[in-house]
Amino acid sequence: MKKYLALVLALCMVFALCACGQKAAPEASKDATAASVEPAAELIKVGIINNDPNESGYRTANDKDMKATFTKESGYEASFAYSLKNDEQIAAAQKFIQDEVDYLLISAAGTSGWDSVLKDAQAAGIRVILFDRTIDADESLYEASIVSDMALEGKTAVDWLASQNLETYNVIHIQGVMGSSAQIGRTGALDEMVAANDKWKLVTQQTAEWNAETAQQIVQAVIDSGKEFNVIYAENDDMAKGAVAALDKANISHGVGKDVIVIGFDCNKWALEELLAGNWNYDGQCNPFQAAYIDTIIKDLEKGTAPAKKVVIMQEKGFDASTITQEDVDKYGI
Amino acid sequence: MASFKSASQESAAKRIGSFLAKLVKHQIFIPIAALLILVIFNLIADPSFFAISLDQNSLGNPVFSGYLITILDNASELVILAIGMTLVTAASGGQDISVGSAIAISGSVMLRVLCGTNSRPEVLQAPIIVAFLVCCVVAMLFGAFNGTLVAIFKIQPMVATLILFTAGRSVAAWINKNELPIISDASFGYYGNFIPGIPIPTPIFIAVACMILIALVLKFTNLGLYTQSVGINANSSRLNGIDPALIKFITFVILGLCVAVAGFIKVSRFSTINYSVIAKDIEMDAILAVALGGNALNGGKFNMGASILGAYVIQFLTTTLYKFNVVSSALPAYKAVVVIILVVLSAPIVRDKITETWKKLAPVKIAKEAS
């Protein structure tokens, strides 16, 4: 009985293998024909390694921008690979090197471990451009790095807040995930100001880990304790939204000319609409549109001119509720 | 053992000792003790901690506010999940770590039904009750998926649910085509905030309704008995005519229903969703609630009330830490220390030790007082 069972199972396995083989064969031939057709068009081949577009609104906007810029019409043949894990990204980079892309565009999940794969790329004559995130590797291994300066974003926002000339600043500071570059940059600017200035006080400084609900709980805890505050400095829009929900519940007015100033970051479209309605006061941009910068650099490199600076810092705006327009919302909202 | 018991009945002192020992040994003792410690600590630090006041929100509706209300309100989702998690733990001897991801999925489904194709509709595209029912069905299907893997394929629950844990948030994003829907209709927000005119947050009502429901189910059906017997010994329950696979499967489907309700509250709180952070790490808190309730994490007997109290203890602790403005980078460490103490205290070995010490100490104390 057992022997029969073994026989049946073995047959099943053989059939399964056959089925796999048959399926695999036509796919392989399809790849081959695709490969033989493409080079005729003389497109610039770019391999783009990005983080998962579901990660955040920022990433979704970033990915959309990439896809809109690197199209066949504008002379590119783009392949995309997504992962939030460094090792998977490195594996994807190796695959792109084997595929002999002309440019490798990388938004790295982690900062380390990229040396050997970048050397492979250099040896294969592939040029590397980093966007959004830097990595710990020798500068000679890449052509350019296009990044946001989070510390500058924070400083722009804090300077704007200082320009409001309040008598005292009692700030509820809601931080992002501790150790993330956005958190470090945006916290640093405020911490510096508070340390240097007697008028500025932190009522509370807590991490809500980018989570609206946690932010609401933190602000609720401050309201329940009866402490005075007049500024909410939330390191992204979601957390600002959570904070505002707590204010609404306690009937504390917020926005332009009201009791509490609300500051958010990232310029989500809905957040800019809150600004336009005067419910929030300020929103700092974290520019996800690197594709245009990369496009210029690649076009220059094709002509033979190297970029003037290795590290390109993108222009980033901060929006004030009293000056924002519907055009800004449409143009910069992500 | 028997001689010791009969001896203890002889003297009153020993009887009190054994009463205290029994109290310490009772399962619900640990969460109650933890709650009492937190309450006393907060009372000493700030007597106004328990003050509740009736204010108005920005829409002019009356609302109760105060720490106590905040804790009860914010613990609601966790309490509801703890109910399902207790049953799953008891029957399968393992935990479902995918509830956070499953909340993202059910919330996403709900918004998808309400929004239709447009991610920011002016009017709701479907009645809320329809969206809720669809969301229940989907969440129960995902629960059934986990349940099938555990009950029929006999995969370790933590490994089986790892699949959904990993994939869930991407699935949730995919359901809404990667967009972040926002619902502008105010009535959708009632379920996560306040119904106009009623000053108590709606999630508290929903949590209480779930508690009553599960109490009735446990009282009038054999669910509690069957899950415990399957958890204690699946083989002997099968010999007694209970199908262990079916019972395990049912507990996962019930957890799916709990996920749907929790997801509904979560998306209603802000009338929107963020796939990557919604209900993040809530699975760990739900498991912790079960552990704090003194339930054996490898299955068998359970005490539903203790799990629910455990969930409130966790939220009480979180709010207390916010109140005392603990430095954010140290927050997890504080929480970890408290959790270690509570979990060690609720371990059977430690509790047995405490019981023994009580028994030894109590007669001595009373004898001293008498002399």
pLDDT at B315 exceeding the cut of 80: yes
CA–CA distance, A142 with A254 (Å, rounded to integer): 46
pLDDT band with cut points at 50, 70 and 90 for residue A10? low
Which residues does chain A have within 8 Å of residue B319's beta carbon, measured at their own beta carbons? 217, 221
* Alpha-carbon gap, residue A175 to A79, rounded angstroms: 35
Number of Cβ atoms within 10 Å of the Cβ of A116:
11
- Kindly report the average pLDDT of chain A as a whole number: 86
Using pLDDT thresholds of 50, 70 and 90, give the confidence band for residue A212: very high
Residue with tokens 């500051």: A263
**A207·B328 Cβ contact <8 A:** yes
Cut 0.90: pTM above it: no
Of residues B57, B322, B329, nearest to A249 (C-beta): B57
B271: alpha, beta or left? (left if phi > 0; alpha if psi -120 to 50): left
User: CB B177: neighbour CB atoms within 10 A?
Assistant: 10
Q: Return d(Cα B289, Cα B313) in angstroms, integer.
A: 8
Pairing mode, strands A127-132 and A76-82: unpaired
Is B40 a residue whose pLDDT tops 90?
yes
A 176-195 residues inside an 8 A Cβ radius of B: 178
Q: Minimal Cα distance from B319: which residue of A?
A: A221
Angle at A182 between CA A176 and CA A186, to 5 degrees: 85
**Superfamily covering domain A150-286+319-332:** Response regulator (3.40.50.2300)
A204: nearest CA in chain B? Answer: B325
- B265 contact residues in A (CB cutoff 8 A): none
Contact list, A250 vs chain B (CB under 8 Å) = 55, 57, 65
Identify the H or E element spanning B53. Answer: strand B53-56
ipTM entry = 0.85
Does pLDDT of A22 surpass 50? no
State the DSSP string of A211-237: -HHHHHHHHHHHHHHT----EEEESSH
Which pLDDT band holds residue B85 (cuts at 50, 70, 90)?
Answer: very high
Res A35 pLDDT > 60: no
| Contact criterion met (CB < 8 Å) for B55 and A57 | no
Q: Does A270 touch chain B (CB under 8 A)?
A: yes
Q: Is A259 on the interface with B (CB under 8 A)?
A: no
Residues of chain A with CATH 3.40.50.2300: 41-148+288-303, 150-286+319-332
Which residues, listed in sequence order, are joined to residue A45 by a DSSP beta bridge?
A77
Residue A193: the pLDDT is 94
Q: Which strand (E) or helix (H) includes residue A147?
A: strand A144-147
**Structure token digits, residue A25:** 């064969």
Task: Report the alpha-carbon distance of residue A243 to residue A227 in Å, rounded.
Answer: 15
Report whether pLDDT(A274) > 80: yes
Instruction: Check residue A251 and report its DSSP letter.
Output: T
Q: How far apart are the first and last CA of chain A?
A: 65
Give the per-residue pLDDT at A84: 81
Question: What whole-number distance in Å separates Cα of residue B50 and Cα of residue B35?
Answer: 14
Average pLDDT over residues A77-103: 91
Please classify residue A125 by burial: count the beta carbons closer than 10 Å to its beta carbon, then call 0-12 exposed, 13-18 middle and 19+ buried.
Answer: exposed
The answer to whether residues B61 and B187 touch, using CB atoms and an 8 Å cutoff, is no
**Does residue A245 belong to the interface with chain B, where contact is any CB pair within 8 Å?**
yes
Residue of A nearest to B180 (CA): A57
- A269 to chain B: closest CA residue: B180
Q: Kindly state which CATH superfamily the domain A41-148+288-303 is placed in.
A: Response regulator (3.40.50.2300)
The span from the CA of A99 to the CA of A47, in Å, is 9
C-alpha span between A98 and A92 (Å, rounded) = 10
